Amino acid sequence: MEYPYYPGCTLKTTGRKDEESAFEVAKLLGFELKELPTWTCCGVVYNLTSDVMADHLSATRTLIRAQEMGRELKTNKLVTLCSMCYNVLKQVNLMYKDNPDKLYNVNLFMDAEEDYLGNIEIMHFLEVLYNDIGPEKIKEKVKTPLKNLKVDPYYGCMLLRPKTIAFDNQDNPHVMGDILSALGANVIENPMTVECCGAHQIITNKEAVLDCAQRIVNISQSKGADLIVTPCPLCQYNLTTAQKSLFEKGKINHQTPVIYLSELLRISLSDNNENYLKDYKFIKDILEERGGL
């Protein structure tokens, strides 16, 4: 099955690894992520005011691109890897469903584009893995079980809040945990799994991000996690950068690697894991030590 895929700016730059791994994983699981032929920024944050429409244009344009490609591929789905893209696209889409007058207004303004009909279904890559493929099928395809590897699935906020766009339980999500268990990993239950990482405050108030990260990482480490797994490129960046600072300040005594779920999936599902494990020495060491390899 071919899914129209929207990368977003970050997946092409600092989040490159996530995209590369996801493409590979898709191939191994029998589907394909087909990038929209042309795209613009998604808007990143959903504008929460009741009057401004300009900030919704970016997302609307993306949805129109998905609509165009959807006709070609005969689907109304749009898959994204980035949690923030997912959140803003889904919230804008929902806003148009609840406010047809706003959709009318935006279509009138974007007269150079075709009208957005409001029918796109936005899915996060996790949803595709869980709902369309399923942990059982993923388990069958495992080549390297991640035996005894202790992983901490960290969701962050954008996938599960507000409730209207959540595809998993808001307080006790299980989708990532189920997939990681299917890979044979030892999944840790971290109560801080849906706590915010600080998001854009990394720019204006780094201290706030350090506080958030400490709260999340402290528990992760006290429960013995070997690594933290996350789907969001900003969470990955924030947690990694914050740990560096926290370590320098002596507030944590070691730094837990933070990697994308797609990277771990690639290592576990690929025939070529020898090649990939070279880049992830810390995982290779752990698996060898604990009998996984």
Partner 1 sequence: MAEKNQIPLVSVFIMGKEYRIPSGLTLMKAMEYAGYRYTRGAGCRAGFCGACATIYRLKDDYKLKSALACQTTVDDGMYLVQLPFTPANKKKYDMENLNIAHNALLKEYPEIARCISCNSCTKVCPQELKVMDYVQASLRGDIEKAADLSFDCVQCGLCAFRCPAEITQYHVGQLARRLNGKFVTPKALHTEEAVVKLNSGVSKQEISKLKVLKLDEIKELYKKRSIE
Partner 2 sequence: MVFTVSEKGLDLRKSVEEISGQNVFQCYQCGKCSATCPVVDSMDMAPNKVIRFVQIGDLEVLDQNTFWVCAACFTCSARCPRSVDIAKIMEALRNVMLRNKQDFINIYSKDFLEKMIEEVPQMAIVAAIKKGVW
Q: Nearer to partner 2 by C-beta: 54 or 117?
A: 54
- The stretch among 44-52, 110-118, 244-252, 280-288 that binds partner 2 (CB under 8 A) is 44-52
Nearest 5°: the CA angle 196, 200, 205 is 95
CA distances from 279 to 51, 143, 169, 246 (A): 48, 18, 34, 25
Q: Nearer to partner 2 by C-beta: 20 or 68?
A: 20
Q: How far apart are CA 129 and CA 116, in angstroms?
A: 27
Q: Smallest distance, Å, CB 76 to partner 2?
A: 25
Classify each residue of 141-179 as buried b or exposed e, where b means 16 or more C-beta atoms within 10 Å of its C-beta. beebbbeebbbbbbbbbbbbeeeebbbbeeeebebbbbb
- 118 sits in the region (left: phi over 0; alpha: psi -120 to 50; else beta) called left
Among 2, 20, 35, 55, binds partner 1 (CB under 8 A): 55
Q: Does 43 bind partner 2 (CB under 8 A)?
A: yes
Amino acid at 257: P
Q: Nearer to partner 2 by C-beta: 169 or 275?
A: 169
Q: Give the strand order in the sheet containing 227-230.
A: 186-187, 150-153, 227-230, 258-260
- The stretch among 4-12, 120-128, 132-140, 276-284 that binds partner 2 (CB under 8 A) is 4-12
* Adjacent-strand bridge partners of 227: 151
Q: Smallest distance, Å, CB 32 to partner 2?
A: 25
- What mask of x and - would describe binding to partner 2 in positions 82 to 111, judged by CB under 8 A? x-x---------------------------
Q: Crossing angle of helices 57-73/83-98, nearest 10°? A: 90
Q: Does 45 bind partner 1 (CB under 8 A)?
A: no
- What mask of x and - would describe binding to partner 2 in positions 145 to 174, judged by CB under 8 A? ------------x---xxx------x----
- Per CB under 8 A, residues contacting partner 1 are 9, 12-14, 38-41, 43, 54-55, 57-58, 61, 110, 112
